[in-house]
Amino acid sequence: MRVIIQKDYDKCAKWAANYIANKIKVARPTAAKPFVLGLPTGSTPMGVYKELVNMFKSGKLSFQHVVTFSMDEYIGLDLDHPQSYAHFMFENLYNHIDIKKENINILNGMTKDYAKECATYESKMRHYGGVNLFFGGIGTDGHIAFNEPGSSLTSRTRVKTLTQETREDNSRFFGNNINKVPKTVLTVGVGTIMDAEEVLIMASGASKAQAIHDTIEEGVNHMCAASALQMHQHGIIVCDDAACSKLLPKTVDYFKQIENLKFEGV
């Protein structure tokens, strides 16, 4: 696992955006062989999407041959609902870049057939040969996508019930009214994320410190879904000082040392 420690949110967002952009460019995607990117919603990716939009607007990056898969969606919210994740993705990214509509994949929270919706999502990923890079945030309870504590670490796209903690965390988007936060979601599984060639998780702020500690310093445990990253060949966590505040000083020093040596070309 690679752990990139940055001073603050903005630096993490820049790092993540540059990483994603670079991966797309190096892949030289085409219509026949697009770059497949998994994407999150929430507060964490906002700065990353801003950077990516700026790169597109300044002609440094194109999404013409990028295929995206959103990580999750609330059940019962349609595309036009301001808090649906589909709406979020269009508002914050898709409306501002040159991605083709047919290359955007979103879970339909209004489906009547959850099993079919989830199975189709998985088979679409397979159709593209899998996901090249899954980018995500992390919940205060260590969830990735909406894989709450207790999720199987081999889970696939499915229906999930949110914890009280997650609904409280997300109530800020619903006028601080937890009763308005849906109780169930569709989400890619931990196994779905782990199948990606690379996984990049970003965490910012002291509220994520426990989750980051559990992810990096504790064992692989389904009570912290993000800890599955320890089993990934190319897992990266980019986090700021505040999110690292519950890591041991020697852990922080070690990961910083690794990155400094990389910088020197070792």
Contact residues for ligand PGA, defined by CB under 6 A: 42-44, 137-139, 143
Considering beta carbons, is residue 65 or 213 the nearer one to ligand PGA? 213
Strands 198-203 and 133-136: what pairing?
Answer: parallel
Residue 240 designated active-site: no
Q: Report the C-alpha gap between 12 and 98 in whole angstroms.
A: 24
Q: Report the C-alpha gap between 59 and 218 in whole angstroms.
A: 43
Residue type, 37: L
Structure token digits, residue 103: 């290359």
Considering beta carbons, is residue 14 or 25 the nearer one to ligand PGA? 14
Return the sign of the alpha-carbon dihedral for residues 145, 150, 156, 159: negative
Q: What is the closest distance, in whole angstroms, from the C-beta atom of residue 215 to ligand PGA in the complex?
A: 12
Q: Report the C-alpha gap between 13 and 109 in whole angstroms.
A: 28
Considering beta carbons, is residue 137 or 182 the nearer one to ligand PGA? 137
Angle at 44 between CA 19 and CA 177, to 5 degrees: 165
Q: What is the closest distance, in whole angstroms, from the C-beta atom of residue 108 to ligand PGA in the complex?
A: 20
Considering beta carbons, is residue 29 or 75 the nearer one to ligand PGA? 75
* β partners of residue 221: 224
Choosing from 143, 169, 222, 240, the catalytic residue is 143
Structure token digits, residue 244: 């690292």
Considering beta carbons, is residue 29 or 139 the nearer one to ligand PGA? 139
Q: Where are the beta strands (DSSP E) in the chain?
A: 2-6, 35-39, 66-70, 72-74, 104-105, 133-136, 158-161, 184-187, 198-203, 235-240
Q: What is the closest distance, in whole angstroms, from the C-beta atom of residue 26 to ligand PGA in the complex?
A: 27
Residue 148 designated active-site: yes
Considering beta carbons, is residue 44 or 151 the nearer one to ligand PGA? 44
Residue 32: φ, ψ to 5°: -75, -30
Enumerate the H helices of 28-163 as residue ranges: 46-57, 85-92, 114-127
Burial annotation 156-187 (CB, 10 A radius, 16+ → b, else e): bbbebebbeebbebbeeeeeeeeeebbeebbb
Residue nearest to ligand PGA (CB): 42
Choosing from 51, 65, 72, 222, the catalytic residue is 72
Choosing from 51, 73, 122, 141, the catalytic residue is 141
Choosing from 51, 73, 117, 148, the catalytic residue is 148
Residue 217 designated active-site: no
Catalytic positions are: 72, 141, 143, 148
